[in-house]
A = this chain, B = another copy of it.
């Protein structure tokens, strides 16, 4: 896919996230795109992202769902405001709460796909529901409450 991902529109100062920042050289670099009303992310785990041999560790699943949801929240808010992701003011969301149900073990070989839908946009809050699939089967479901980042967090703590 050559279309720019949601995360490619994050402003430079907010593109260092380990999960999804394009400028974090150690990070996971997850990328999200619209497919109609769903936001989709495909991710290939590394062999060392294991829980037990053959299966993905739960923290990676939580991390992908988390970053995919905050990206989806931003993209959905641009859509709701009827403007492009390249317009100002730029949007960035943080996670207020994360819930993941691990329904069955997730095989480590092959891509993981996360599909997300916006459940609610209310003021600065966006609630996102996500489903993680591998080998065509649902492996985990998540719900993420995200909140638009307050400006004071743009300055690192002193």
Footprint of B on A, CB under 8 Å?
A: 13-14, 16-19, 21, 24-27, 46, 48-55, 57-60, 62-64, 66-67, 92, 94-102, 105, 107, 149, 153-154, 156-157
Contacts and interface: CB of A to CB of B under 8 A. Distances in A.
Nearest to A58: B95
Which 4 pairs show the lowest CB-CB distances between chains A and B?
A59-B63, A54-B156, A62-B62, A26-B48
B98 A52 contact: no
Contacts of A105: 94, 153, 157
Contacts of A66: 58-59, 62
Contacts of A102: 94-98
Nearest to A50: B16
Instruction: Tell me which of A17, A21, A55, A94 has the highest count of chain B C-beta atoms within 10 A of its own C-beta.
Output: A17
A129 to B, nearest CB: 15
21 contacts: A13-B53, A16-B50, A17-B57, A18-B50, A18-B51, A18-B59, A25-B48, A26-B48, A52-B94, A52-B149, A55-B153, A57-B63, A58-B63, A58-B66, A58-B94, A58-B95, A62-B100, A63-B63, A97-B100, A98-B102, A105-B153
Contacts of A154: 52
A58 to B, nearest CB: 5
A143 B64 CA distance: 19
